[in-house]
Structure 1
């Protein structure tokens, strides 16, 4: 397993950049829209048309190389959009890290293309309202194509002494959530970079997502929901795979093992035995992973403002933004 990244966008990924040379007309907000793709070319044309009408400062489409996307033709059709094409196999976190590095806007709206169809709307007034919250990420209410609410509020919990995440359909404006559903949200790009972005050594999408957003809470950031911020799926909403694998071990080491003492976070050496009991690794490999996590935690020890136990215990008392 590779070394845990210590800086933002540390992994260099080969990429091809097309388009983006023509400025967007009538920019209305200091916001870049980063789009990840999972729809057909026909739908993507409608998506970019909708986005160009909103007044974003920049639009960056990040995608893996695929003949079905016909990206070169799209770059000619939409010269204002920057298309960043990556090799197959890169993680979603890599794609977002690279998208964040391709812009200098203070704020970023991140979404998949099936959330920005013909009914899509995002105004400068809404952007200003979300920016005023001064949070790492503000999350939308997500609805199906027939306007049924989807779970968007996630809270940390403990079930039979094991960490788990509970989801809920019930939301209130400014209610706190552990992470954004489907990664859709209004991000403070500077905070994203200071947090180090996504860990490219965690390959499973769910655990990679949970790693960044759980870390953001441990490091003192906040994530909330905005009831006036609504996005609608064009098709079926995606399902999350929460299978505990080697990616879970990396998440566990970085987020659940550290304890907060006085003014810093640390992983006591005695926690090795609880980690070894949870892992299927051999003794040498388990110790190597544990030692690497202790090194990373020590490097960032003064970034910690709480630990997993305190965060979970206090969530009910501070679960709503006042």
Structure 2
């Protein structure tokens, strides 16, 4: 198992950046465009983003050859194309995009998603600012923006709202993700579905971004969300921004694989007491039994996770038990 990262993007994948030399606007919000494959009208997408008034666009191109980059980078000088040398995970793509940006906010989208409602990039950024009243209630505001990540209402191609918000639950030591559809402003969610959301870049970097050592997209998102909430950050929805898929939402594979083991050790196993967290030795026998690994391999992984928790012990504000018990679940 790879070493658990302790700093943001300590290992970057190999890539080449093309274009993105000129700022398109001064809204404070940039866009990150992830490519799911297929043939999409890239020129039309960039024109829509230009009208919206994003500062910059980061377009993650993948490993396929692109023969229109010279033309597109000339027409859209605010777009930076990231050409990957090899395929990388969803979280790694978002981490890489964040490392290429300087805007305080960035909006992660896919090439099969359209923005239906939300206004200009400047208006979106303005809505996320902490109001004077909110600033007065919060004595230690870490950022001028409300939260780590704000997720939009997501609809399918028939404009039906999808249950993309997630409440956490624990049952006999196992985590349960309970999906529901957004119905009011500011509803909390465990993680940004499909990675789609508006991120506070400073908070994102301070959190460490996504764990690039997790190969499962589902557990990568779960790890990001749990870590964010356990460390006192907030992820919530807004009714003021709506997006839609061109087709159906991508399926989620929640198989408890190797990525789940690391997710468990980092997020479910630690115990919070007083003002810090620790991973108690009493968790080890149960972990050995559930992991399916031999005692020596299991100990190596458990020991590494203990060191990671020890390093970050004062960043925890709760443990998984308290988080799920105090979660603001939607009304039935």
TM-score (ref. length: structure 2): 0.90
Which residue of structure 2 aligns with residue 49 of structure 1? 47
| 1:33 counterpart residue number | 31
Q: Which residue of 2 aligns with 1:153?
A: 165
Equivalent residue, structure 1, for 2:17? 17
1-side partners of 2:308 and 2:249: how far apart?
Answer: 35
Equivalent position SS for 1:116: strand
Which of 66-75 and 91-100 deviates more? Answer: 66-75
Correspondent of 2:313 among 301, 306, 309: 301
The offset of 1:73, in angstroms, is: 4.6
Tell whether the 8 Å contact from 1:260 to 1:304 is kept in structure 2 after alignment. yes
Q: Distance in 2 between matches of 1:22 and 1:194?
A: 27
Deviation of 1:191 after TM superposition, in Å, equals 0.4
Aligned to 2:301, what secondary structure does the other structure show? helix
- Residues 50, 120 of structure 1: 8 Å contact kept: no
| Alignment equivalent of 2:279, drawn from 267, 278, 283 | 267
- Counterpart CA distance in 2 for 1:120 and 1:45 is 20
CA distance in 1, matches of 2:71, 2:301: 45
Query: 1:43-122 to 2 correspondence within 5 Å?
Result: 43-67=41-65, 71-116=69-114, 119=116, 122=119
1:106-255 mapped onto 2 (5 Å cutoff): 106-116=104-114, 119=116, 122-123=119-120, 124-132=122-130, 134-159=146-171, 161-255=173-267
Tell me which of 267, 279, 283 is aligned to 2:295.
Answer: 283
- Post-superposition offset of 1:71: 4.1
* Root-mean-square deviation over aligned CA pairs: 1.9
State the 1:72 CA deviation: 4.7
Alpha-carbon distance in structure 1 between the residues aligned to 2:268 and 2:176? 11
Gaps in structure 1 of 5+ consecutive residues: none
Return the alpha-carbon distance in structure 2 between the equivalents of residues 147 and 69 of structure 1. 34
222-231 or 120-129, which moves further after superposition?
120-129
User: How many residues matched?
Assistant: 316
Deviation per residue, 1:230-262 (Å, 9 max, x gap): 111122221111111000001001000001010
What are the ranges of 5 or more consecutive residues in structure 2 without an aligned counterpart? 131-144
Q: Deviations over 1:126-169 (max 9, x none)?
A: 22112335100111000112211101220001345521100012
